[in-house]
Amino acid sequence: MDTGAGHLAGKHIVLGLSGGIACYKAAELCRALIKEGATVQVVMTEAAAQFITAVTMQALSGRSVYTSQWDSREASSMAHINLSREADAILIAPCSADFMAKLLHGRADELLSLMCLARPIDKVPLLLAPAMNREMWAHPATQRNMVQLQADGATILGVGHGFQACGETGDGRMLEPAELLEDVIAFFTPKVMAGQHVLVTAGPTYEAIDPVRGITNLSSGKMGFAMARAAREAGAQVTLVAGPVSLPTPRGVNRINVKSAQDMHVAVTALAQDATIFIATAAVADWRPAAPSLQKIKKDGSGDAPKLEFVENADILASVAASDAARSGKLFCVGFAAESHALAENAHAKRLRKKVPLLVGNIGPDTFGQDDNAVILLDEHGSTELPRASKLFLARQLVGEIATRSRAARS
């Protein structure tokens, strides 16, 4: 089974560390980059070496760490030239306030800043992960520096919010390694969905019986969240409407939480007006209790179960597919079908019933809660099977398919 690992295969990253306590996160980031298939060359400033050792970074990267522009290992002592020419990108994490200022003014008094200045700007992008105290981050000088660095072509990956080593709380923390990894992968991903506004639904819905009980299903939301992440990687503006799940929001994705099918229907109806692609991965309840009790239903000792009556929920996918935007070609709709048997037959029938150009089917019991999946794609020309792989790997494949088909539908 393809696990989807190695999304950075073939990429060579120079990981630069400037001085800051966030250097401890650089160790995990280095390991994460390598697990995704990249090779990593670590370059450290003298200040960074006060927070983490070159021995640690060498062990994690599998390469000797460079700390001096006078390193005799490089031909003609030109490490700043040789290391930058080999890189697909230079990632400074952590990037201190001082190092941002140094980059802004083109100073080059040690190897890392010298290498950034000497890199071929049009071939070797510069990615910066700032890390500093909240007051330093908010200072007008830092904000001016950030704006100018972006104007000069650097990519600022942003900062996190939370408790800082100094004891204060606020903006300025370096992003977590997993977040930075998402951003690096997104940076290198071809932007096949640039200019698109993608609306994704994910997870189950919950239909209340009384204040403490309800009807739901086993959908974990993982496939929908993977679709949202993959669409964002591909350059789309992404809005994710999520049922009740406990999953972190993908980087750069706008998330709206809902609970019931009615909640999801209201949210999607409003949001679909501005979307260009709608991907309905949510496992929406077909029915809901007609009259939920306002109080917990108690057992009375008779052994008789309470009598529940159900009403049908609105068909979110079918209603969006029937909208003026979808019929005019402005909105490309993709459905998902979780079946228990006869996948191809049931999914084909659902595609026709919902009147969508593309439907993705899977066997629900085989994928709910799992990190992997196997799917079948159905359109007017037939079906295509995508073998079992990680949900993120499949999502990236599906985003490519959707991008191609949506362009063709509009041409």
Question: Which residues form the catalytic set?
Answer: 166
99 contacts 105 by C-beta, under 8 angstroms: no
Q: What angle do CA 273, 398, 360 make, to 5 degrees?
A: 80
209 contacts 308 by C-beta, under 8 angstroms: yes
Q: Give me the DSSP letters along 73-137.
A: TSGGG-HHHHHHHH-SEEEEEEE-HHHHHHHHTT--SSHHHHHHHHS-TTTS-EEEEE---HHHH
Going from the C-alpha of 175 to that of each of 29, 296, 389, the distances in angstroms are 10, 44, 28
- Six token digits for residue 170: 């606020």
Q: Which amino acid is at 274?
A: D
Q: Which amino acid is at 321?
A: A
Q: Give helix 177-188 / helix 23-35 axis angle, nearest 10°.
A: 50
